Structure 1
């Protein structure tokens, strides 16, 4: 089977890195088109052996991208087109139809309760999404919560399939040596109580509240992994709270790395350096960072995580939902500080979200779209 993946951009981000992981586990011939920003993840995908084409799209209204993408699909002789992220879904579905490729799968990675890909939802956004959705075969939701949101939006439930995000579970097994080396590289004392967080440094993640909470627990240090426009603001908050020397922002990371780290810690090593993990984002589509933290054996506190909340009780005994206010975060950190130290066993939740399992589900959906009866268009 020959599959073309179309994605809006390939800078470092959750959906982008999820595509790379899937490509490593899907036994199909593939190629990737990125509409914009062929960044670090594009380099990683090519290092893994999959070609990436940059379409050079200049903005949401660059209609010239549609014929360019149509030609590329037609010339490639693809059996199926798989789109990722909003702009790629809108343009990719239309281009595939114009190129004569009927099987089109679209993965919805980032539909929250009130935002899509970090931007507020609007009537126009919804209308364009639904109009293009009917050009495809089916829509993949990365969690049952996203599936329910799609249905409330107006996507026919018969056209929605749930294929959860996944991780390479074995990579996150706790390594005491990596913990010691990473702490030393970051200047973190071996006996420090380190609170961790991972994600884009944007206002919607509400990391400023975590900074304030850590500042109120004198024994705590914060290791916040990611990059974004709120970086300077978070450092300013830390300084205002008198905790500038206890808040560490080491920057973005690519996971898995496309080349040897060369001394720079990778994500499993950064998680190994933490003692607890906190997610303050109130609106998530999946919560991949929480699953990675659980696979690393960390106790987790989160404001929202469909990946855990959609599972049966007891699937992640080390994870607990908490309020997102600063006093509630302070209380949770103090409780975790006083709890017995040590790593937790790998929970069922982490096993369930292994990327190999997700790839098998997706391959089954590909086979249905290409060789089976197409899902009804409504």
Structure 2
């Protein structure tokens, strides 16, 4: 299988760390993975640590400057890359979702299009968390909903995020599944020494913040 990951990137955060963990595992399983990085001159610019780290593990990468608004020439450039023999195009975050949805709708996209949701609008969540009842028809919401309808399937990183997308009407239950981030036990726990973290004979490790939205009460 040949997959193209697509994301706008301006620094290494949650979604980027996800790629740096998942892509090597996919490569080890024999999956061919390329990465299309969308960027702007005012946020990140061309190149950078993330793209260098992908290149260092043998990932073929592309970079396209998307500017502030979608342009036909930019969409055609992305389409040319995406239609180059891939079985699946996997978008991450709203810019990639929207741009590839535009291409699929108006210019033609050959591969299957799917999306992973790593979060939601920071402006909204900083005020309301993930309270679906507070969502109104903001530009972010409307663009997200329009793009989501063009996806073959979507995935969220938590049950709480999936609930939010369904309760707001951004997606339908049958079209959205959960793939948790997870973490590598040897790298994050065992390699640091059991004795440093052993507080009782039996312990439970919880990955995530201890808040109700994450399912912890």
TM-score norm. by structure 1 comes to 0.45
CA contact (8 A) 2:70 2:99 kept: no
Separation (CA, whole Å) in 2 of partners of 1:112 and 1:144: 17
**Among candidates 90, 94, 115, match of residue 82 of structure 1:** 90
Q: Deviations over 1:141-188 (max 9, x none)?
A: 1111111101012111111111111222210125568xxxxxxxxxxx
Larger radius of gyration: 1
Q: Deviations over 1:293-343 (max 9, x none)?
A: xxxxxxxx744661x53xxxxxxxxxxx6xxxxxxxxxxxxxxxxxxxxxx
Aligned equivalent of 1:325: none
Query: SS of the residue aligned with 1:81?
Result: strand
Aligned equivalent of 2:103: 95
CA contact (8 A) 2:162 2:178 kept: yes
Query: SS of the residue aligned with 1:35?
Result: strand
- Per-residue deviation at 1:132? 1.3
Report the CA distance shift for 1:136/1:67 in structure 2 as closer, same or farther (over 3 A).
same
Q: Are 1:108 and 2:124 counterparts?
A: no
Report the CA distance shift for 1:102/1:174 in structure 2 as closer, same or farther (over 3 A).
closer
Aligned equivalent of 2:61: 52
- Per-residue deviation at 1:138? 0.8
- Per-residue deviation at 1:81? 0.4
Aligned equivalent of 1:170: 186
Query: SS of the residue aligned with 2:207?
Result: helix
Separation (CA, whole Å) in 2 of partners of 1:176 and 1:113: 33
CA contact (8 A) 2:86 2:111 kept: no
- Per-residue deviation at 1:96? 4.3
Unaligned runs of 5+ residues in structure 1 are 178-271, 275-289, 293-300, 310-320, 322-378
Could you say what the CA RMSD is over the residues aligned between the two structures, in angstroms? 3.0
Query: SS of the residue aligned with 2:114?
Result: strand
Unaligned runs of 5+ residues in structure 2 are 129-134, 198-205
Aligned equivalent of 2:36: 33
Separation (CA, whole Å) in 1 of partners of 2:75 and 2:50: 23
Query: SS of the residue aligned with 1:115?
Result: helix
Aligned equivalent of 1:140: 155
Separation (CA, whole Å) in 2 of partners of 1:176 and 1:162: 29
Separation (CA, whole Å) in 1 of partners of 2:111 and 2:57: 28
